[in-house]
Amino acid sequence: DTGVSQDPRHKITKRGQNVTFRCDPISEHNRLYWYRQTLGQGPEFLTYFQNEAQLEKSRLLSDRFSAERPKGSFSTLEIQRTEQGDSAMYLCASSRGLANYGYTFGSGTRLTVV
Amino acid sequence: GENVEQHPSTLSVQEGDSAVIKCTYSDSASNYFPWYKQELGKRPQLIIDIRSNVGEKKDQRIAVTLNKTAKHFSLHITETQPEDSAVYFCAASQTGANNLFFGTGTRLTVIP
């Protein structure tokens, strides 16, 4: 499968715990994006990488959130000290060019904080 | 920043009828408007997109129209089928932008 892969698909964690998600983009895509989707809402932009450089971060990305893409391939999104408001679907997407050339999304990681 | 509004939030149609979903945007600099389909538990998938240099684009049973003056764009699905049932999201972006601004989604149900 040459699509965007995300792991895990589901994560249940207790409030205050740290969680880390992984995204493997399409191999020839140099741009990688993280979005958050809450129930009944459209995806909201969190952050963007071009190769290994994190070039843009949304104000939604509080200091408890950190994202990396160490070798310009896979990316990780870590949430520290999780809160119930962090419960959402975390979507990763990749693209060959700018946003206006279309994304390919992964299936997401659904986080539930209890 | 850009604000995209989408209507209706839910839409039910009989199989074979047409469905229309409408979106408005606020930033006149936006010039790229994709539509994504998200089936339950699956990833959003790009189904059609339009750029501001055209007013309409069609792909089989799906078409998108754009009115830049009024800052709105619409998705039209003709001859709907049960497999068209899903949540549809519109989005907007600008040249050189790194992110998409999404609407809140429309849950389409096609009744057999």
Q: What is the pLDDT of residues A21-45, one digit of tens each?
A: 999 999 888 999 999 999 889 999 9
Q: What is the pLDDT of residue A100?
A: 67
Identify the sign of the CA torsion A80, A86, A88, A92.
negative
Question: Three-state DSSP class for A66?
Answer: strand
Task: Report B:57-86 residues touching A (Cβ under 8 A).
Answer: none
Low-confidence ranges of chain B (pLDDT < 70): none
Query: Is the per-residue pLDDT at A97 higher than 80?
Result: no
Contact list in A for residue B46 (CB cut-off 8 A) is 102-104
Give chain A's contact residues with B (Cβ, < 8 Å). Answer: 4, 31, 33, 40-45, 48, 55-56, 58, 91, 98-100, 102-108
Q: How confident is the model at residue A111 (pLDDT cuts 50, 70, 90)?
A: very high
Facing A43 at nearest CB: one of B6, B98, B102: B102
Integer angstrom CA distances of residue B103 from A6, A36, A68, B3, B112: 23, 13, 27, 8, 27
A11-15, A93-97, B73-77 — which is least confidently predicted? A93-97
Query: Is the per-residue pLDDT at A106 higher than 80?
Result: yes
Q: What is the pLDDT of residue A99?
A: 63
Query: How many Å apart are CA B63 and CA B80, to the nearest integer?
Result: 13
Facing A102 at nearest CB: one of B34, B41, B103: B34
Q: What is the pLDDT of residue A102?
A: 76
Query: Is the per-residue pLDDT at A12 higher than 70?
Result: yes
Q: What is the pLDDT of residue A87?
A: 97
The residue of A4, A100, A101 whose CB has the most chain B CBs within 10 angstroms, and thus the best one to mutate to test that interface, is A100
